[in-house]
Structure 1
Amino acid sequence: MLKGEPNHQAVFDYLTGEIRLKSKLFTSDYVLDETFTRLLNTQGITTVKNFKTHLSLTEKQGQLLVFWTDETLFTRSWPLFQKFAGHKLSFTDVTIFTLVKDFKLDEVLSLDQGFKKVGLTVRPLL
Structure 2
Amino acid sequence: MEKILEYNYYLFAEKFTTIEKEKVITFVTIVQYLFIVNFTLFILLFFTEPLKQFPLLIIIFCLVTFFALRFYNRKKYKDRYFEFKLNWNNEGEKKKSFYKKLIWTLVLLTFCLMIINSKSLPSN
Normalising by structure 2, what TM-score? 0.24
Going by fraction, where is strand more abundant, 1 or 2? Answer: 1
User: Which structure has the larger Rg?
Assistant: 2
Going by fraction, where is helix more abundant, 1 or 2? Answer: 2
Normalising by structure 1, what TM-score? 0.24
